[in-house]
C-alpha cells in the first residue's frame, strides 16, 4: 500500500493568518479541526548524535518523542522523571533501546524550546467528507520570541486529487520552499550560538600542500584550542564524561604536534607550551582515569560470578566517591589562574599569525614537511615493533604503543594532503595494531591499579572480605585476558608490517 | 492481525452500527483498522460519507489485488480506512460461484490486506449464501447481534446447524444482544436464559435513539455523543472483544 503523502511549507514572514484563512475559504469548503497550544523542547547530545543519524527528539511535558527526518514518530513514551539525561534515565522501552544505540555514553541537553500553536483545517468535498487535512502551526521561540509559521498538508487515502489541488493552491499563495523536518530545530537554536553539526569529536582540519609549515600548524593549533574551549563548560558542569575526554584529546594532539612537527615553531615557544599543555594533561588525568573504570562497570560485573558482584559494587561506590573529590579539584584547577593563563597566552601567540616566531623550517611548504615527518614516525614504529619477541618485557610494548599513537596523530594531521582512500586505509591498518596495544596497556594499568587497591583494603569486616574477593576475581580475569591479548600481538604486528602496507607508506611518504 | 465479521441472517438487527462503532474504537486504540462494507445497501459507507468509484464493482472486488488497495478510502478519523460497497455487490453470490474453491475467495482477497491492518472488520449483508460461507471461513471472529426474541432464537439455531453441516469452526461464533428494550419482559426473559453461557458477550447494546442519530449526523455514535449510554455500551463491548481476540490470536 502506498504510504500517505505529507508536505510541509514555511509561510512567508509577513503572513497573516486571517488572510490565509479567507483565501482558503474562497476556494474550499472548510471545517475547523482541533486546535492546540503546548510547549515543546528539543534535545540532542553536544556532538549531535541524534541529528547525525537523522533523528529528532522532543519533549512535551513528560512525553518524549523520537522522530525521523520525515516527521514520522519512531518511538514515544511518557516518563515520570522530567529530566532524562542519559539513555538509562528513561524507563524500559523501545525508546530507551533506540537511545542506547544512538547516545551511548553521551548526555542529552536541551537545544531550545518553543510554544507551538496549531490549528487544524479539514477540507471537505460535496458530501462533507474530509478529503485533506491542513495543519497551520506557529512556533514561538522561547528565547528570542521569534515566530515561524509552517503549514502541513496531509493526504487522506483515496483522495489524491484533492491533495494535489490543495498543494497547488498553497504554492500559488506564496508559501516558501518545503520546510525540511529539521527546519524547526534550526529555527530554535538560532540565537543560541549553535547550529546543527557544529561540533564533532573527530579531527578535521584541511590543509593545502603549498601552505608554509607555520601556516599549517597555526590552523591545527587553532582548531584544537577551539575544541578545548568548547568542551570546557561541559567539563565544569560535569554533563557527561566525553567533554573531558574530548578536551584531553585536544590537549594531547596539541602536545604531539608541538613535539612531532619540529622546527616549525620557534623552539622557545614549542618548549614552553609542551610543558604548559603537559600541566593541563596532568590536572585532567585523575578524573578521566576514574571515568574509564566507571564506564566499564557493567562489563566488569558481567565478568564475575553473581556471588562476587556485590563486593564489586562496593569497589565502584568507592571509585564514584573518589571521582567526586577529583572532579572538585579539577573544576578548581580549571578556574585557576595557571590554566586560564596558558590558554590565553596560547591564543595570543596563534593570533600573531604571520609574525608567529618561526623555527628554521617554518617557511617550508607543509607538503614537503609532512611526508618526512610521517615516514620518520613509521620507521620508528617498524624498528621498535620488529624488536619485540615473546620474551620482551611489557614496558617495550608500552613504548611501541606510544610510538604508534604518534604515527596515528601525524597521519591525521596531514591526511588532507594525500589521497583520502589511501590515508583511510593506513589509519585503519594502524588502528588494528593500536587496539591490540591499547588493550594490552589498559589491562596492565588496571591490574596494577587493582593490586594497589587491594593492598589498601583494611581487613576485618564482611564488607572488606567481599570486596577483596571481588577484586581478586577480577584480577584473575584481567590477567587471563592480558595473556590472550599478548599472544595476538605478533600476528597483528606482522599484518601491519606486511609488504602491502610497507609499499604504500614508501610510495606516499618515502 | 484479526478479521472480525459482524453477521446475522436477519436484517435490521444493528450489524452496521456495531461494525462502524467497534471499528472506530479499534482505530482509536491506535490499531490500523479497515472496515469492509460488504452489504450492497452500503450503509457503513454512507455513515462515513464515502462513495465507491464508478469502476469499483463486485467483479473488481473478486478480482482482488491492486484494485482493492486503489479503492480503499481514508475516513475522517485517524487509523480508520474503509472499503466502500457498491450496489453490484447484490450479485456477489453469482459471481463467486464462477471461482474455483469458491468458499475461500474472500480469504484470498483479504490476504494482502492483513499485512497492512491490525484489524479488519467485515460488515456483512443479511442472508445465508455462498458469500456468507466465504466470510465465515475468512473471519477469526464472528460477532452476531441478536435481538432477544423467539424469531431471532430460531435463526441462531439455523446458523449453528449450518456451521455443523459445513464443518466451519463453531468456536469463532460470539453472540450478543442488540436493540435491547429493558421494558419488554420477553427481552429480559430471553436474555436471562442465555446469561452466563459460553460465547455470549456480557455486554449488550440497548435500543436507543442515539444509535439512530448516526443516520442523521453520518458519524459513529461515539463521535456524536461520546458519553451516552450507547457509547458506553460499545466501549465496554470493544474491551470484551479485545480480551477475546488477545486469547485467540496471541
Q: What is the pLDDT of residue B83?
A: 96
B73 with A2: Cβ contact below 8 A: no
The rounded distance, in Å, linking the Cα atoms of A191 and A188 is 8
CB A509 within 8 A of CB A375: yes
Give the pTM. 0.76
Q: How far is Cα of residue A425 from the mean position of the Cα atoms in its chain?
A: 23
The rounded distance, in Å, linking the Cα atoms of A479 and A260 is 34
Q: What is the pLDDT of residues A326-354, one digit of tens each?
A: 999 999 999 999 999 999 999 999 998 77
Q: What is the pLDDT of residue A53?
A: 96
Residues of A in contact with B116 (CB under 8 A): 1
Q: What is the 3-state secondary structure (H, E, C) of A16-56?
A: CHHHHHHHHHHHCEEEEEEEEEEEEEEEECCCCHHHHCCEE
- Dihedral of CA atoms B150, B152, B154, B156 in degrees, nearest 10, equals -140
Residue recorded with cell 468535498: A125
Tens-binned pLDDT, residue by residue, of chain B (250 aa): 999 999 998 888 999 999 999 999 999 998 999 999 999 999 999 999 999 988 888 888 988 889 999 999 999 999 999 999 998 888 888 888 888 877 888 999 999 999 999 999 999 998 878 888 899 999 999 999 989 988 887 888 888 888 888 888 888 999 999 999 989 998 999 888 888 788 899 999 999 888 888 989 999 999 999 999 999 999 999 999 999 999 887 6
Minimal Cβ distance to A1: which of B48, B69, B218: B69
Among A436, A186, A204, A471, which residue's Cα sits nearest to residue A318?
A471
Q: What is the CATH number of domain A6-189?
A: 2.40.320
B74 in A contact zone (CB under 8 Å)? yes
The rounded distance, in Å, linking the Cα atoms of A249 and A231 is 11
A128 with B49: Cβ contact below 8 A: yes
Q: How far is Cα of residue A84 from the mean position of the Cα atoms in its chain?
A: 18
Residues of A in contact with B70 (CB under 8 A): 158
Q: What is the pLDDT of residue A46?
A: 96
Domain count, chain B: 1
Q: Pairing between strand B119-123 and B2-6? A: parallel
Q: What is the pLDDT of residue A178?
A: 66
Intervals of chain A under pLDDT 70: 178-181
The rounded distance, in Å, linking the Cα atoms of A327 and A341 is 21
A34 in B contact zone (CB under 8 Å)? no
Structural domain of B167: 2-248
Phi-psi region of A192 (alpha: psi -120 to 50; beta: other; left: phi over 0): alpha
Q: What is the pLDDT of residue B63?
A: 87
A1 in B contact zone (CB under 8 Å)? yes
Residue ranges of domains in chain A = 6-189, 213-509
Residue recorded with cell 594497589: A452
User: B49, B67, B116, B218: which to substitute to probe chain A, counting the most A Cβ within 10 Å?
Assistant: B49
Among A291, A313, A200, A207, which residue's Cα sits nearest to residue A245?
A291
Among A480, A450, A483, A442, which residue's Cα sits nearest to residue A467?
A450
Rg over alpha carbons for chain B, rounded to the nearest Å, is: 17
Please report the DSSP string for B37-93 in residue order.
E--TT-HHHHHTT----TT--HHHHHH-THHHHHH-EE-SSTTEEEE---GGGGGHH
CB B25 within 8 A of CB B110: no
Q: What is the pLDDT of residue A83?
A: 83
Please enumerate in sequence order all residues whose Cβ is within 8 A of that of A476, keeping only pairs 6 or more positions apart, or say none. Answer: none
Residue recorded with cell 575526554: A245
User: B50, B55, B67, B74: which to substitute to probe chain A, counting the most A Cβ within 10 Å?
Assistant: B74
B69 with A4: Cβ contact below 8 A: no
Identify the bridge partners of residue B123 per DSSP, sorted by sequence position. Answer: B6, B37
User: A132, A158, A161: which to substitute to probe chain B, counting the most B Cβ within 10 Å?
Assistant: A158
Phi-psi region of A460 (alpha: psi -120 to 50; beta: other; left: phi over 0): left
Does residue A174 sit in helix, strand or coil?
Answer: coil
Apex CA A339: angle with CA A338 and CA A341, to 5°? 65
B69 with A128: Cβ contact below 8 A: no
Mark which residues 172-211 of B lie under 8 Å from A by CB. Answer: none
CB B107 within 8 A of CB B207: no
CB A255 within 8 A of CB A224: no
Q: Where are the beta strands (DSSP E) in A70-125?
A: 73-78, 109-124
Q: What is the pLDDT of residue A184?
A: 82
CATH topology of domain A213-509: CHAD domain (1.40.20)
Report the CATH number at residue B13: 3.40.50.300
B73 with A159: Cβ contact below 8 A: yes
A130 with B71: Cβ contact below 8 A: no
Amino acid at each position: 500500500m502506498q504510504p500517505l503523502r505529507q508536505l510541509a511549507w514555511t509561510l512567508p514572514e509577513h503572513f497573516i493568518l486571517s488572510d490565509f484563512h479567507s483565501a482558503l475559504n474562497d476556494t474550499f469548503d472548510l471545517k475547523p479541526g482541533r486546535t492546540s497550544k503546548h510547549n515543546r523542547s528539543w534535545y540532542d547530545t553536544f556532538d549531535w548524535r541524534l541529528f547525525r543519524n537523522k533523528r529528532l527528539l522532543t519533549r512535551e511535558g513528560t512525553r518524549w518523542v523520537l522522530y525521523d527526518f520525515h516527521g514520522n514518530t519512531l518511538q514515544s513514551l511518557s516518563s515520570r522523571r522530567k529530566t532524562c539525561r542519559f539513555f538509562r534515565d528513561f524507563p524500559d522501552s523501545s525508546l530507551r533501546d533506540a537511545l542506547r544505540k544512538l547516545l551511548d555514553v553521551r548526555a542529552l541537553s536541551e537545544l531550545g524550546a518553543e510554544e507551538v500553536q496549531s490549528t487544524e483545517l479539514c477540507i471537505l468535498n460535496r458530501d462533507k467528507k474530509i478529503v485533506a487535512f491542513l495543519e497551520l502551526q506557529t512556533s514561538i521561540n522561547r528565547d528570542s520570541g521569534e515566530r515561524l509559521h509552517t503549514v502541513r498538508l496531509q493526504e487522506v487515502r483515496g483522495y489524491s486529487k484533492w491533495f494535489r489541488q490543495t498543494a497547488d493552491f498553497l504554492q500559488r499563495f506564496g508559501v516558501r520552499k518545503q520546510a525540511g523536518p529539521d527546519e524547526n530545530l534550526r529555527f530554535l537554536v538560532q540565537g543560541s550560538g549553535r547550529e546543527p553539526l557544529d561540533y564533532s569529536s573527530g579531527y578535521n582540519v584541511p590543509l593545502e600542500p603549498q601552505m608554509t609549515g607555520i601556516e599549517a600548524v597555526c590552523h591545527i593549533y587553532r582548531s584544537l584550542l577551539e575544541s578545548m574551549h568548547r568542551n570546557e563548560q561541559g567539563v565544569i558542569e560535569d554533563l557527561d564524561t566525553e567533554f573531558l575526554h574530548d578536551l584531553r584529546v585536544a590537549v594531547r594532539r596539541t602536545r604531539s604536534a608541538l613535539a612531532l612537527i619540529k622546527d616549525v615553531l620557534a623552539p622557545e615557544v614549542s618548549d614552553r607550551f609542551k610543558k604548559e599543555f603537559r600541566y593541563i594533561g596532568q590536572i585532567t588525568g585523575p578524573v578521566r582515569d576514574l571515568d574509564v573504570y566507571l564506564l566499564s562497570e557493567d562489563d566488569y560485573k558481567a565478568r564475575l560470578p553473581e556471588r562476587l558482584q556485590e563486593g564489586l559494587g562496593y569497589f565502584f561506590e568507592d571509585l564514584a566517591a573518589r571521582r567526586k573529590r577529583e572532579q572538585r579539584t579539577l573544576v578548581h584547577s580549571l578556574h585557576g589562574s595557571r590554566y586560564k593563563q596558558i590558554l590565553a597566552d596560547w591564543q595570543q601567540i596563534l593570533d600573531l599569525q604571520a609574525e608567529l616566531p618561526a623555527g628554521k623550517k617554518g617557511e617550508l611548504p607543509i607538503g614537503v614537511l609532512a611526508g618526512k615527518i610521517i615516514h620518520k614516525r613509521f620507521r620508528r614504529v617498524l624498528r621498535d615493533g620488529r624488536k619485540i619477541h615473546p620474551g620482551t618485557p611489557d614496558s617495550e610494548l608500552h613504548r611501541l604503543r606510544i610510538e604508534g599513537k604518534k604515527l596515528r596523530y601525524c597521519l591525521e594531521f596531514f591526511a588532507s594532503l594525500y589521497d583520502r582512500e589511501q590515508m583511510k586505509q593506513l589509519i585503519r591498518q594502524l588502528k588494528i595494531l593500536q587496539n591490540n596495544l591499547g588493550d594490552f596497556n589498559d589491562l596492565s594499568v588496571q591490574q596494577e591499579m587493582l593490586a594497589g587497591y587491594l593492598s589498601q583494603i583494611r581487613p576485618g569486616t564482611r564488607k572488606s572480605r567481599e570486596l577483596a574477593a571481588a577484586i581478586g576475581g577480577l584480577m584473575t580475569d584481567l590477567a587471563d585476558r592480558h595473556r590472550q591479548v599478548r599472544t595476538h600481538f605478533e600476528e597483528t604486528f606482522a599484518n601491519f608490517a606486511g609488504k602491502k602496507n610497507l609499499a604504500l607508506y614508501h610510495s606516499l611518504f618515502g | 492481525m484479526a478479521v472480525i465479521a459482524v453477521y446475522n441472517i436477519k436484517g435490521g438487527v444493528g450489524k452496521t452500527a456495531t461494525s462502524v462503532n467497534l471499528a472506530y474504537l479499534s482505530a482509536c486504540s491506535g490499531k490500523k483498522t479497515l472496515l469492509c462494507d460488504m452489504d450492497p445497501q452500503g450503509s457503513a459507507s454512507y455513515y462515513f460519507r464515502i462513495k465507491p468509484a464508478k469502476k469499483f464493482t463486485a467483479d473488481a472486488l473478486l478480482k482482488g489485488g491492486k484494485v482493492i488497495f486503489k479503492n480503499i478510502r481514508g475516513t475522517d478519523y485517524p487509523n480508520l480506512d474503509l472499503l466502500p460497497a457498491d450496489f453490484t455487490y447484490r450479485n456477489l453470490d453469482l459471481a463467486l460461484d464462477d471461482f474455483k474453491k469458491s468458499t475461500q475467495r474472500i480469504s484470498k482477497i483479504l490476504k494482502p490486506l492483513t499485512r497492512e491492518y491490525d484489524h479488519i472488520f467485515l460488515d456483512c449483508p443479511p442472508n445465508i449464501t455462498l458469500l456468507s460461507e466465504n466470510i465465515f471461513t475468512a473471519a477469526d471472529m464472528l460477532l452476531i447481534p441478536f435481538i432477544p426474541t423467539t424469531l431471532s432464537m430460531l435463526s441462531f439455531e439455523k446458523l449453528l446447524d449450518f456451521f455443523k453441516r459445513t464443518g466451519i469452526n463453531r468456536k469463532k461464533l460470539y453472540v450478543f444482544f442488540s436493540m435491547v428494550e429493558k421494558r419488554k419482559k420477553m427481552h429480559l426473559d430471553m436474555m436471562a436464559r442465555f446469561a452466563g453461557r459460553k460465547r455470549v458477550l456480557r455486554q449488550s447494546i440497548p435500543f436507543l435513539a442515539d444509535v439512530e442519530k448516526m443516520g442523521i449526523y453520518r458519524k459513529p455514535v461515539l463521535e456524536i455523543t461520546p458519553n451516552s449510554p450507547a457509547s458506553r455500551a460499545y466501549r465496554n463491548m470493544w474491551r470484551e472483544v479485545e480480551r477475546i481476540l488477545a486469547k485467540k490470536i496471541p
